[in-house]
A and B are shown apart, each in its own frame.
Chain A
Amino acid sequence: MAEMSGAEAFIKALEREGVETLFGVPGGAVIPICDALYDADIRFVLARHEQGAAHMADGYARASGRVGVCLATSGPGATNLITGLATANIDSSPVVAFTGQVPTSMIGTDAFQEVDIIGVTASITKHNIQVQRAREIPYAVKAAFYIASTGRRGVVLVDLPKDAQTNVEEMEFPEHIEFKGYSPNVEPDPRELDRAATLLAKAEKPIILAGGGVIASNACGELLELAELLMAPVATTLMGKGAIPSGHPLHIGMCGMHGTWEANHLVSEADVLLAIGSRFSDRTTGRVEEFTEARIIHIDIDPSEFDKNVEASLRVRGDAKLALRGLIERLRHISRRSGEGWMRRLEELREQRRRMEEEERGEGVKPPDLMKALRRLLPKEAIVTTEVGQCQMWAALHFDVYAPRTFLSSGGLGTMGWGFPAAIGAKAAKPEVPVVDIAGDGSFGMTENNLATAVEEELPVIVIILNNRVLGMVAQWQRLFYGRRYFGVHLGGSPDFVKLAEAYGAIGVRPGSMEEFEEAVKVGMESEAATVIDVPIDPEENVFPMVPPGRGLREILVED
């Protein structure tokens, strides 16, 4: 027991959780915390808007697997975090957010910069807590890290009234914390595994759908082992990209609205589909009634995902790694693997796709070629983040990934402006590897002010803007499904991104050819300042393949 202020206890509690980096923006209701940080050994990364701070914490968490932490003041500081928290939570990224709050005596009076952030964030956090007095702070911090980083990971927000920060009390720092209503119970039921193994052993056309849960539980080795054991092709969701290395013979890429030719067909045609750590988002399933003929085995750590979007034949609640190990144990000695016909079908589809790609090859610098060139230049451990829209889908389809946690994207929320601050957060977590944000001009414009943070904090990320001067994905939908009635998509007023970068003290380059693009990436990798590479592309360019909204996965378009 020691006597100290709530703010001092807060810092001590963070240090006990091993927090090294805090992303945030200060304000009136967190000045006591800033004062305590003054003497602490915690890096404070100052964002220019709280949304950026939340995305940085999210990028940090996804790249490292550790909890990302952000701090904002009360009122507008807290509400500015919201997009960032919603983005992290829906993608099960472990983030803890701390917000200042007006003193407890003033709560409910509509005091200056008072917002009911507990009420506001209830449906976009895994849990949230408002501290009532100083000595609760160590418990609240312990609880927040415990809940955010266990079970299905997610966001926990802790609201800290100013008097709780300033009051001095006897403090106790708990080693462990328990909640009667929370057991991240992750050991799968052996009987459920038996049933799943029996069904898989009988499958002639098995397929695996790997979601973000495989990466979250560090189960990629087990995934590969099981896939090879069953000879089951592995499709991924956007969040699962990286769970199996691109280029592995069983890797068939992403399934869904912008899924690959192979993945969408094989998912539809399979007889048993093993989904691991996926919540069957509508972007993954297409028209859900036509998703697949297969019997579905659904493994998930969060049983509230069972039957939510797609009804499974078998459900296994548990951690992906433990569940996969259990299946491998049970299937290690099976004599029968997927039929040869199934592998032939995979090869046939792969060949069809290659032929279609050959035919499409046109003039000029095409986004898929940029993705492939970028891949050749970057080391395998480099981290790529994406913005949202066409740039994201080009990256998902054409940028190969060899390791988990090296491809980071806002999947569930589809948050434009996420990729750049997330890249800064990832770079803070992994300063030794190149970090590249694959952006569009629309997305980058939403959070470009984070260039100030990247420069000041010496976090030299590379931003590649696929600049088509439109909100590309909306324009693509208007082109394909709304008779080219373009509305609200032209970005004529965008700044010169090269000059913008230079204005912030970053490097700006506008390559005119593939050679100049490659040169620019190399410059960016060597540079100690952030680099913005502005690549003009054709605004008429579409992302294919595409399943039109509301259609089944097999109704896949490869050209307009």
Chain B
Amino acid sequence: MTPLSTIAFIVENRPGVLFKVSNMFRRRGYNIESISVGPLMDRSLARMTVTIEADGRVLRNLIEQLRGMVEVLRVKHLNPRRTVVREMALVKLNTTDPMAREEALRLVNSHHGLILDIDEDYIVAEITGSPGEIDSFLREAESIGIVELSRTGATALEKGELKL
């Protein structure tokens, strides 16, 4: 399996840009694993983080394709050893069974999650961590019963003085 790579890039923050970027990925046959977008302090710009199954020559070419787009200001492949990558998941668990509820609370707690809502039958938890940590939480939570799941996709920053 091709390893997942994380690319971060700064784009103009205006309508149609997300379409053009995602259209380029589609047109060149790249499959986006996750994408997250949000504005910068200068709200005319936005930062996108894409994780994608690509490396080597394919990844290099993809970065150049992005660089070639008028709407894209800067692009960087983030070195995993020098990058913090985080993702958030909202998870709704079925906890009608008191045993399940106890197990769910323990599990959320052990993953440093938050309980955002709780009623007789369900809890909604927030889990933040690396995509791998979230995967491991979800594997454990599956036995309790995941009713609904929403993941944000990875967002990432480089460590220390490194900067996009």
A interface residues (Cβ-Cβ under 8 A, vs B): 118-119, 122-123, 126-127, 130, 147, 179-182, 302-304, 306-308, 311
Contact = CB atoms under 8 A, between A and B. Distances in A.
B11 A119 contact: no
B71 A307 contact: no
B73 A307 contact: no
Instruction: Tell which of B57, B64, B73 has the most Cβ of chain A within 10 Å.
Output: B64
A180 B23 CA distance: 21
Interface residues of B, number: 20
Contacts of B20: 122
A122 B73 contact: no
B73 A123 contact: no
26 contacts: A118-B16, A119-B19, A122-B19, A123-B24, A123-B27, A130-B16, A147-B70, A179-B70, A180-B73, A181-B11, A181-B12, A181-B71, A181-B72, A181-B73, A182-B70, A302-B64, A302-B68, A303-B67, A304-B64, A304-B65, A304-B67, A304-B68, A306-B61, A306-B64, A307-B60, A308-B61
Given A122-B20, A122-B23, 11 more contacts: A123-B23, A123-B24, A123-B27, A127-B70, A179-B70, A303-B64, A304-B65, A306-B60, A306-B61, A306-B64, A307-B60
B69 interface: yes
B12 A180 contact: yes
B26 to A, nearest CB: 8
A291 B87 CA distance: 44
B138 to A, nearest CB: 35
Contacts of B72: 181
A126 B20 CA distance: 11
Interface string B146-161: 0000000000000000
A119 B64 CA distance: 22
Contacts of B11: 181
Instruction: Tell which of B12, B65, B70, B71 has the most Cβ of chain A within 10 Å.
Output: B70
B74 to A, nearest CB: 8
B62 to A, nearest CB: 9
Contacts of A147: 70
B67 A311 contact: no
A308 B64 CA distance: 10
A130 B17 CA distance: 12
Interface in B116-144: none
5 tightest A-B CB contacts, nearest first: A304-B64, A181-B73, A123-B27, A307-B57, A303-B64
Contacts of A302: 64, 68
A452 B72 CA distance: 44
A413 to B, nearest CB: 15
A417 B137 CA distance: 60
Contacts of B68: 302-304
A224 B60 CA distance: 32
Contacts of A123: 23-24, 27
Contacts of B23: 122-123
A123 B68 CA distance: 13
Interface in B67-86: 67-73
Contacts of B57: 307, 311
B35 to A, nearest CB: 17
Nearest to A306: B64
Nearest to A127: B70
A179 B10 CA distance: 13
Interface string B44-60: 00000000000001001
Interface in B1-60: 11-12, 16, 19-20, 23-24, 27, 57, 60
Nearest to A311: B57
B24 A181 contact: no
A467 to B, nearest CB: 38
Nearest to A302: B68
A130 B20 CA distance: 13
A179 B70 CA distance: 7
Contact of B61 (A181, A182, A304): A304
A316 B152 CA distance: 39
A308 B63 CA distance: 11
Contacts of A308: 61
A181 B64 contact: no
A448 B24 CA distance: 35
A307 B69 CA distance: 18
A182 B57 CA distance: 23
Contact of A307 (B16, B61, B67): B61
Contacts of A180: 12, 73
Contacts of A119: 19
A503 B23 CA distance: 46
A127 B73 CA distance: 15
Contacts of A307: 57, 60-61
A247 B26 CA distance: 45
